[in-house]
Amino acid sequence: QIYAVLRGHCLYLYKDKRDGQTNSQIEEEPLPISIKACLIDISYSDTKRKNVLRLTTSDCEYLFQAEDREEMLSWIRVIQENSNLDEE
């Protein structure tokens, strides 16, 4: 289980919820996943798990599983809104 935090055009992944909630700089800040011009959608190919979303960047593909369908759709919507290259 991981904790994901979206800050602008970057998605950060943390092992612990507390790490993602602190405003101070963390010594071991994870490398961000740039969501600029990414593709995000429901992963229909992963039939063994429910509520899986697929994030495809220019160099990598990530699969995330949300707690429920509503949360999955919410993540998809927010990432789509923040992935636009023209908006800062």
Q: Is the dihedral of CA 64, 65, 67, 71 positive or negative?
A: positive
Per the structure block, which two tokens stand in for 34?
């740039």
Task: State the average pLDDT for the chain.
Answer: 84
Q: In whole angstroms, what is the distance from residue 52 CA to residue 30 CA?
A: 22
Bigger pLDDT: 27 vs 32: 32
- Per-residue confidence at 25, pLDDT binned at 50, 70, 90? very low
Each residue of 55-75: pLDDT tens digit? 999 889 999 999 999 999 999
Model pTM above 0.85: no
Average pLDDT over residues 21-30: 54
